């Protein structure tokens, strides 16, 4: 009960001295608003750079240089790593092609004129295809075409094609065919070459057939396959996030596997992030020290000015602990109002900045703060206010009513 009374008295006194209170609120807002705007721009720029890197899956790709011999154990080890987002074995480049032609053209009896495309093994979770074709695995007869390949074939999602694999056995040229259905067509920005993303089984079957062996599952004739473990000369590997690119590069480098990555570009963004964070931290530190000193000095001056009023309150029967709440309530009121005004100023300026420098719908605003940032800023200001106000407020508890009587 007494606490609510003392808080009410503090708020009424705060309103009574509204001119001084307004000056304190404006002082806090003029310090906090530029910091919010600066951090909003810093956060927006860094976040947009990171999002641009993440939007292009090629930034997460680790490309092996040359060929090797990679077995099942190697790929199992990679899949168990938390920094691996996607990995799939890749067959020999010379065998990773297939001729495609519309099924209707073949049925019509016209001379077949297949479009030769590269075979890229793909599946569920492939970063290059999941954005446009979903995350589901490809069926054995499904493929995803790139835009250049689809344009040459006149194909679109749902088109039935015939896939043709050829091989030479001595002086004899043989071929095998399989029906394929186009699941999706990637835009030109995804990959600018004639290629088809296919289930790994199709790429392996094409290589097997070209090696002179048969694929009974597809009705392709040839010699029997051996029982030995299949080794792959290469692989497609994507990191789970930007941090994983460097760690995977180092992991493969330790195994003498040379790879190409865009780790340097990613590191440049990270370095910019660290540098701007350090600069902003130093600015906030200086502003925080100034805020502490300003708040403490204002409260000391206010307590000295209201010494007689506080003494009278003690004479009314309020304890020293009750009196401590009087300046604390006023300090927190200044902080709350100052933050509200600062956030309003930030919102206005951020709107102007984002209108002047639009980045499109795919990327975020140039100047932006998340709710976590807003809550964190509010919490820091309140904590600093309490730290600055607590020592002067505690001095009120030592105020003796006898001092007021002597003054009278």
Q: How many CB atoms lie within 10 A of CB 381?
A: 21
**Which residues does 132 contact at the CB level (< 8 Å), separation at least 6?**
184, 186, 187, 190
Q: C-alpha dihedral over 279, 284, 287, 291, to 10 degrees?
A: -170
Q: What is residue 110's predicted lDDT score, i.e. its pLDDT?
A: 46
Q: Is the pLDDT of residue 358 over 80?
A: no
Helices (H) and strands (E) in the chain, counts: 13, 10
What whole-number distance in Å separates Cα of residue 236 and Cα of residue 292?
55
Single out the residue in 239, 262, 285 at which a domain terminates: 262
Single out the residue in 262, 294, 327 at which a domain terminates: 262
Phi, psi of 282 (to 5 degrees): -65, -40
Q: Model confidence over 125-171: pLDDT tens digits?
A: 898 888 777 777 788 889 999 999 999 988 888 899 999 998 887 77
Q: Are residues 311 and 345 in the same domain?
A: yes
Asked whether the beta carbons of 237 and 73 are under 8 A apart, the reply is no
Single out the residue in 262, 291, 325 at which a domain terminates: 262
Q: Are residues 44 and 77 in the same domain?
A: no
Q: Are residues 185 and 320 in the same domain?
A: no
Q: Percentage helix, strand, coil, to 5, in the chain?
A: 55, 15, 25
Asked whether the beta carbons of 150 and 191 are under 8 A apart, the reply is no
Q: Is the pLDDT of residue 408 over 60?
A: no
Q: Are residues 242 and 339 in the same domain?
A: no
Q: Model confidence over 183-234: pLDDT tens digits?
A: 999 998 888 899 999 999 999 999 999 888 888 888 888 888 777 788 899 9
Q: Which domain holds residue 342?
A: 2-54+268-407
């Amino acid at each position: 009960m007494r606490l609510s009374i003392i808080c009410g008295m503090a708020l009424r006194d705060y309103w009574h001295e509204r001119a001084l209170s307004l000056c304190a609120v404006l002082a806090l807002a003029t310090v906090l608003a530029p910091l919010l705007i600066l951090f909003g721009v810093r956060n927006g720029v860094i976040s947009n750079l990171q999002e641009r890197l993440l939007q292009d899956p090629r930034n997460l790709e680790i490309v092996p240089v040359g060929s090797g011999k990679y077995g099942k154990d190697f790929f199992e080890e990679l899949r168990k790593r938390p920094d691996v987002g996607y990995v799939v074995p890749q067959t020999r480049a010379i065998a990773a092609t297939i001729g495609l032609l519309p099924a209707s053209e073949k049925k019509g009896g016209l001379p077949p004129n297949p479009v030769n495309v590269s075979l890229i093994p793909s599946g569920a979770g492939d970063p290059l295809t999941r954005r446009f074709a979903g995350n589901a695995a490809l069926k054995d007869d499904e493929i995803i075409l790139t835009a250049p390949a689809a344009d040459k074939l006149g194909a679109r999602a749902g088109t039935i094609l015939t896939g043709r694999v050829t091989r030479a056995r001595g002086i004899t040229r043989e071929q095998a065919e399989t029906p394929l259905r186009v699941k999706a067509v990637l835009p030109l920005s995804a990959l600018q070459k004639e290629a088809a993303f296919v289930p790994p089984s199709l790429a392996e079957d094409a290589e097997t057939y070209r090696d002179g062996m048969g694929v009974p599952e597809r009705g392709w004739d040839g010699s029997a396959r051996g029982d030995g473990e299949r080794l792959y000369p290469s692989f497609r590997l994507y990191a789970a996030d930007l941090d994983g690119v460097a760690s995977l590069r180092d992991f493969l480098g330790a195994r003498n596997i040379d790879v190409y990555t865009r780790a340097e570009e990613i590191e440049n963004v990270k370095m910019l992030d660290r540098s701007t964070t350090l600069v902003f931290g130093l600015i906030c530190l200086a502003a925080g020290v100034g805020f502490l000193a300003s708040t403490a000095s204002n409260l000391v001056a206010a307590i000295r000015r209201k010494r007689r009023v506080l003494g009278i309150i003690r004479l009314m029967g309020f304890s020293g602990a009750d009196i401590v709440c009087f300046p604390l309530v006023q300090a927190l009121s200044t902080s709350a109002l100052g933050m509200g005004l600062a956030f309003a100023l930030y919102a206005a300026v951020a709107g102007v900045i984002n209108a002047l420098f639009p980045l499109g719908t795919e990327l975020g605003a140039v100047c932006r703060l998340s709710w976590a940032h807003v809550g964190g800023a509010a919490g820091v200001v309140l904590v600093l206010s309490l730290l600055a106000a607590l020592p002067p407020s505690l001095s009120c508890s030592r105020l003796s009513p006898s001092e007021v009587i002597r003054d009278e």
